[in-house]
Amino acid sequence: MPDSVIPVFDGHNDTLLRHVMNAGTAKEVSFFTDNKKGHIDLPKARKGGLRGGLFAMFVPSKYDDESGVPFDPEDPANFAPIDQPGALNFTNRMFAMARRWERKSDGQVVIVRTIAEARSAMSEGKLAMVMHIEGAEAIDKDFCALEVLYAAGLRSIGPVWSRKNIFADGVPMAFPSSPDTGSGLTDTGRELIVNCNDMGVMIDLSHITEKGFWDVAKLSTKPLVASHSNAHALSPSARNLTDKQLAAIRESRGMVGINYHVAFLRGDGAHDVNTPMDVLVRHAAYLVEKLGEDGVALGSDFDGCLVPDAIKDATGLPKLLEALRQSGFGEKLINKIAHENWLSVLERTGI
Ligand SMILES: [Zn+2]
């Protein structure tokens, strides 16, 4: 990898889900070869400077084996509750996939359990994976699965996806909409937050309702983090963060990872891949203004969203960083956004 490529640590991708859904079908591909359609594989990561990230394990309510499409946002069946044993089983499939990549990578892919391990792997040009759960349905109310998954390397949990569970309630993919769409943390949800704080597991607030956000803000002793969300003031999606939420994140020395999904970037919420890079740069500038230079990073949503053609996939990361440079972001700030802020906030969380 040329030294001129700035290393990137990214806050969110659904690459494991894509691989597990395609396993055993005609669409099965290797993580170690360039997959034409996917956003992340090892060759693309190397080319784009992607050296680490939170790798999400998300369990869909249903999916179509034929199309491989995880969900249609218009179909309520895709937001139906899921049972814990089934969710844990599906999560194990994704965790096992990550473990196989590590085992077969000849040392090039590493599941990291501390940020010291992440820094060391990234400096050697390896891909550092921090294991993350998106929507905690796999965790039982007695938190046995939490202990076992932690031992396997889990270090980050989004208590809820856009689907109610025993811990909290999630926002729908509504536009335009306030994120204040439902209830907050349940008693079991409060226990989850306390356990994660104790164990050194990051709580991810992307997808949670505004009530749930404020419940976590009150209870958690750690920085508030939204791994893949944008500014509601620029794109009024229920998935984005209001100025008041951004102020609370700043107050906690927390962070927001910028999501590349076109509908969460654009002011009109359109699903249009011809969304110029400037639209993303505007969110970056706005978030830096509201959160400070230590509060903004990247949260691509690669392999789980509609990425602007201007970025396309992980190979487009240098273009994104160049667009920040062109609009006046200095090198120090670009490095913070590219990787340093993620590593620092994870360290502040106790990982
Ligand atoms: Zn998500």
| Mean pLDDT across 222-248 | 98
Summarised one tens digit per residue, pLDDT across range 100-118 is 999 999 999 999 999 999 9
| Mean pLDDT across 298-312 | 97
- How many angstroms is it from 134 CA to the middle of ligand 1? 7
Among the residue ranges 28-32, 66-70, 159-163, 280-284, the one predicted with the least confidence is: 66-70
- How many angstroms is it from 207 CA to the middle of ligand 1? 7
- How many angstroms is it from 106 CA to the middle of ligand 1? 30
Determine how β-strand 127-134 pairs with β-strand 50-58: parallel
- How many angstroms is it from 69 CA to the middle of ligand 1? 15
- How many angstroms is it from 21 CA to the middle of ligand 1? 17
pLDDT at residue 150 tops 70: yes
Summarised one tens digit per residue, pLDDT across range 154-171 is 999 999 999 999 999 999
- How many angstroms is it from 301 CA to the middle of ligand 1? 7
Q: What is the pLDDT confidence band of residue 65, given thresholds at 50, 70 and 90?
A: low
How many angstroms from the chain centroid is the CA of residue 93?
19
| Mean pLDDT across 210-233 | 98
When the pLDDT of each residue in the chain is averaged and rounded to a whole number, the result is 95
pLDDT at residue 324 tops 50: yes
| Mean pLDDT across 24-48 | 94
- How many angstroms is it from 217 CA to the middle of ligand 1? 20
- How many angstroms is it from 4 CA to the middle of ligand 1? 31
Q: What is the pLDDT confidence band of residue 63, given thresholds at 50, 70 and 90?
A: low
- How many angstroms is it from 189 CA to the middle of ligand 1? 19
- How many angstroms is it from 209 CA to the middle of ligand 1? 13
- How many angstroms is it from 100 CA to the middle of ligand 1? 24
Compute how many other C-beta atoms are within 10 angstroms of the C-beta atom of residue 2: 7
- How many angstroms is it from 162 CA to the middle of ligand 1? 8
Q: What's the confidence (pLDDT) of residue 66?
A: 53
pLDDT at residue 35 tops 80: yes
pLDDT at residue 1 tops 50: no
- How many angstroms is it from 107 CA to the middle of ligand 1? 29
Q: What is the pLDDT confidence band of residue 36, given thresholds at 50, 70 and 90?
A: confident
CA angle at 128 for the pair 122 and 133, rounded to the nearest 5°: 150
- How many angstroms is it from 2 CA to the middle of ligand 1? 31
Q: What percent of the chain lies above the pLDDT cut of 70?
A: 97
CA-wise closest residue to 49 among 107, 122, 102: 122
How many angstroms from the chain centroid is the CA of residue 326?
26
pLDDT at residue 218 tops 90: yes
- How many angstroms is it from 133 CA to the middle of ligand 1? 10
Output b/e per residue, 312-333; b: 16+ Cβ within 10 A.
ebbbbbbebbebbeeeebeeeb
Q: What's the confidence (pLDDT) of residue 121?
A: 98
pLDDT at residue 271 tops 80: yes
How many residues are present in the chain? 351
pLDDT at residue 264 tops 50: yes
